[in-house]
Homo-oligomer: A and B are copies of this chain.
Amino acid sequence: MSWSQPAASVQAFLAEAVTLADRALEEALPPATEYPARLHAAMRYSVFAGGKRLRPALVLAASRACRGSDVACTPAMAAVELLHTYTLIHDDLPAMDDDDLRRGRPTCHRAFDEATAILAGDALQAQAFLSAAALGIEAVRCLGLAASSRGVIGGQQEDLDAEGAPIDGSVASQARLERIHRGKTAAMISASCVLGGISAHASSQDLEALRRYGEHAGLAFQIADDLLDATATSAELGKTAGKDAEQGKLTYVAVHGLERARAQAKHHLGLALAELAPLAGSTETLAALARFMVDRDH
């Protein structure tokens, strides 16, 4: 949960977001005692695994930046975290990244079993749409697009397809890298911001500004993630480090090297911050969150 040198105000904001998100998630999920108990236990195991709740925090900050009410945006906070958790569970599966650790604990398929992990992910996706439905059709469409083959799943597939392919600085490699990062990470980060705006009944111009802010902040975040995988330890990350290089993944670091990757992260951070100007409410938190997403140590 700690970030590198977070400002006290941002730490307080993140703690507030965790509290609101956890309450919304608790309400969204069936109790662990309900049939089938093993499935509901697995869903809760992964959802309540001590995640940073970055996406719910972005929903909350975006809602406030559009002068929305916190209560109105909590279903969106639950929706994005349920969706995100499902993608992590499936991403960790043996047929995918084959990870044993997630947030310092056994991954879902290690703590339970592979079939239960697949189903827990499947059920969390459905639950995410049920939460989004509380905000109306525009929210369902926004989440649907981010969750689709044109969003996060498309990015995952490109990521897998790129494994073992030659990595160079060619235009083809760079274009593929861009598609991977936009899909895998930026799509859901961006959707989180837009959902916050939707819950605040923001104008279409404001929603578009939030979308672009999220897109750039998401790209900066994923570059920072690639950098961390290449430079941090497993203990620092709470998951297996150095797996990208080991698996021959197409990352910013692999294509551009450490220095250019750092410069690209800063570049996208600047573009994200520039999008915040037109929003009517306070955008300080969104700005601080974007900075955090780049300057973090895990």
Q: Report chain B residues within 8 Å CB of A140.
A: 129-130, 133, 137, 140
Tell whether A30 is near chain B: CB-to-CB under 8 Å: yes
Decide if B127 touches A126 in the complex (CB within 8 Å).
no
Known: A39-B154, A90-B118, A149-B36. A137 touches B127 (CB 8 A): no
The count of chain A contact residues (Cβ–Cβ below 8 Å) is 48
Tell whether A148 is near chain B: CB-to-CB under 8 Å: yes
Q: Report chain B residues within 8 Å CB of A145.
A: 130
Known: A126-B125, A179-B35. A118 touches B133 (CB 8 A): no
Q: Among B86, B116, B143, B151, point to the contact of A157 (Cβ < 8 A).
A: B116
Q: Report chain B residues within 8 Å CB of A116.
A: 157, 160
Q: Report chain B residues within 8 Å CB of A122.
A: 86-87, 90, 121-122, 125, 147, 153
What string of 1s and 0s marks CB contacts (under 8 Å) between A236-271 and chain B?
000000000000000000000000000000000000
Decide if B141 touches A118 in the complex (CB within 8 Å).
no
Decide if A160 touches B115 in the complex (CB within 8 Å).
yes
Query: With A and B bound together, what is the CA distance between A58 and B122 in angstroms?
Result: 24
Tell whether A96 is near chain B: CB-to-CB under 8 Å: yes
Query: With A and B bound together, what is the CA distance between A95 and B123 in angstroms?
Result: 17
Known: A118-B118, A119-B157, A126-B125. A149 touches B38 (CB 8 A): no
Closest chain B residue to A158 by CB distance?
B36
Tell whether A161 is near chain B: CB-to-CB under 8 Å: yes
Q: Report chain B residues within 8 Å CB of A137.
A: 133, 136-137, 140
Tell whether A40 is near chain B: CB-to-CB under 8 Å: yes
Tell whether A156 is near chain B: CB-to-CB under 8 Å: yes
Q: Among B30, B35, B113, B121, point to the contact of A158 (Cβ < 8 A).
A: B35
Within 8 A of B (CB), among A77-104: 86-87, 90, 93, 95-96
Decide if A157 touches B38 in the complex (CB within 8 Å).
yes
Within 8 A of B (CB), among A24-46: 30, 35-36, 38-40, 43
Q: Among B39, B129, B153, B157, point to the contact of A149 (Cβ < 8 A).
A: B39
Tell whether A297 is near chain B: CB-to-CB under 8 Å: no
Which residue, A38, A119, A125, has most C-beta atoms of chain B within 10 A? Answer: A119
Tell whether A144 is near chain B: CB-to-CB under 8 Å: yes
Query: With A and B bound together, what is the CA distance between A210 and B123 in angstroms?
Result: 24
Tell whether A295 is near chain B: CB-to-CB under 8 Å: no
CB distance from A83 to the nearest CB of B (A): 9
Tell whether A114 is near chain B: CB-to-CB under 8 Å: yes
For the complex of A and B, list the 7 residue pairs with the smallest distance between their C-beta atoms, beginning with the closest.
A95-B114, A126-B147, A123-B149, A39-B157, A130-B144, A36-B157, A123-B153
Chain A residues with a Cβ under 8 A of chain B: 30, 35-36, 38-40, 43, 86-87, 90, 93, 95-96, 113-116, 118-119, 121-123, 125-127, 129-130, 133, 136-137, 140-141, 143-145, 147-151, 153-154, 156-158, 160-161, 179
